[in-house]
Amino acid sequence: MSSTDPLRSGLRELTRQSVRAQISDRAMKLFIEHGFEKTTIEQIAAEIGMSGRSVSRYFASKEDMVVGNLTGIGQGIAERLAARPADEPAWEALRRSLDEHVAALDRDPDGTLLATSVMLAGTPALQGALAKKQREWQDLLVPLVAERLGGGEHRELRARALAVTVLSCLNAAVGAWTDSGGAERVGVLVDVALGAVGEAAGEASGGPRHASAPQASSSPAESSPERRPAGRTDRRLPADAPRGLPAPGSGESAR
């Protein structure tokens, strides 16, 4: 193998990632505008000047165009968890590892992420793909959480329980944010959800009734008193609509 082969391979991969990002971005705009079910691969291909067959070489399905970027978000959360101080409790480290993703949702200047969340919640065809991506997040986080738990029995089980609980709180917070049409702050809602779990755990163990949750982030995106950015559309959902984490649109790039 020549010395230039790895470079060429790297450039091809960068080109592929760039094309995938362009296809996903255009597809998301069409999905939001026309609806996921009504938008065809051929329409997406025409929008970006490609054939439907060429688009299919980059994405196996429309579902993958929506949730594919969630892999990058999960990897980012895992990287931030690994970078947290080694002596930080697992619960706190997990919460802080969500900060960047939560801040991106709270910024959402053009409402794309909110619209994506509405689409995910209201499209049954996306629920299976979304659940699969969320399980991938769990698998990324569990080994990192286990390292923070030291020894003892059932360490992996305990690590998975913590990871699943924190991600479930994030999911519940995003659902509440979506229901509010973006009026609520995701960071605040995450801490409310985590606080409820902490309180319940304290009661179950006979501890204090109000177990403390991780402190809210001091980032501007989470601490701002502003309730809804100007011009954001209120996109409330019926109470029985399914929930889901939004995939990033133009407001949050995948790694």
In the chain, domain spans? 1-59, 67-250
- What pLDDT score does 71 carry? 86
- What pLDDT score does 150 carry? 83
CA–centroid distance for 17 within its chain? 19
The residue that leads in pLDDT, 159 or 130, is: 159
Between 88-92, 124-128, 178-182, the lowest mean confidence (pLDDT) is in 124-128
- Structure-token pair, residue 35: 């609806």
Exposure string of 88-97, with b = 16+ CB inside 10 Å and e = fewer, is eebbbbbbbb
Query: CA triplet 245, 167, 79: central angle to 5 degrees?
Result: 95
- What pLDDT score does 26 carry? 93
**Mean pLDDT value of segment 82-88:** 96
Q: What is the pLDDT of residues 143-157, one digit of tens each?
A: 999 999 988 899 999
State yes or no: pLDDT of 118 exceeds 90.
Answer: yes
Domain 1-59 CATH superfamily: Homeodomain-like (1.10.10.60)
Instruction: Tell me the C-alpha distance between 65 and 26, whole Å.
Output: 10
User: Which of these, 214, 81, 68, lies nearest to 141 by C-alpha position?
Assistant: 81
Between 72-86, 159-173, 215-229, the lowest mean confidence (pLDDT) is in 215-229
- What pLDDT score does 74 carry? 94
- Structure-token pair, residue 34: 């026309």
DSSP secondary structure string for all residues of the chain:
--TTHHHHHHHHHHHHHHHHHHHHHHHHHHHHHH-TTT--HHHHHHHHT--HHHHHHH-SSHHHHHHTTHHHHHHHHHHHHHHS-TTS-HHHHHHHHTHHHHHHHHH-TTSHHHHHHHHHHH-GGGHHHHHHHHHHHHHHHHHHHHHHS-SSTTHHHHHHHHHHHHHHHHHHHHHHHHHTTT-S-HHHHHHHHHHHHHHHHHHHTT--SSPPPPPPP-SHHHH----S-TT-------TT----PPPP-TTS---
Instruction: Tell me the C-alpha distance between 93 and 80, whole Å.
Output: 9
- What pLDDT score does 17 carry? 84
State yes or no: pLDDT of 218 exceeds 90.
Answer: no
Residue in the block written with tokens 């094309």: 19
Instruction: Tell me what the pLDDT averaged over the chain comes to.
Output: 82
- What pLDDT score does 254 carry? 41
State yes or no: pLDDT of 126 exceeds 60.
Answer: yes
- What pLDDT score does 75 carry? 95
pLDDT confidence tier of residue 10, bands split at 50, 70 and 90:
low
Between 39-53, 189-203, 204-218, the lowest mean confidence (pLDDT) is in 204-218
State the pTM of this model.
0.76
Q: Is domain 67-250 given the CATH code 1.10.357.10 in the classification?
A: yes
